[in-house]
Amino acid sequence: MIIRSKAPLRLGLAGGGTDVSPFADLYGGSILNATINLYAHATIIPNDNNTIELIALDQDKRQSHDSSLNLELDGQLDLLKGVYNRIAKDYLDKPLSFTLQTHVDAPPGSGLGSSSTLVVAIIGAFAHWLKLPLGEYDVAHLAYEIERIELGLAGGRQDQYAATFGGFNFMEFYKDDKVIVNPLRIKTKYVNELQNNMVLFYTGTSRESATIIDKQASAINKNAQEQIDATLMVKEQSVKMKEALLRGELDKIGHILNVGWEHKKRMAEGITNSEIEMMYKTAMDAGANGGKISGAGGGGFMFFYCPNNTRYEVIKAISKLNVKVTSYEFAMSGLYSYSID
- Which residues are identified as catalytic? 159
Question: To 5 degrees, how large is the angle CA 236–CA 239–CA 245?
Answer: 140
How far apart (Å, rounded) are the C-alpha atoms in residues 300 and 206?
A: 5
Cβ neighbourhood burial of 20 (10 Å; 0-12, 13-18, 19+): buried
How far apart (Å, rounded) are the C-alpha atoms in residues 313 and 317?
A: 6
Nearest to 173 by CA among 185, 149, 151, 157: 157
State CA 271 to chain mean position distance. Answer: 16
Cβ neighbourhood burial of 321 (10 Å; 0-12, 13-18, 19+): middle
Give the β-pairing of 301-305 and 198-202.
antiparallel
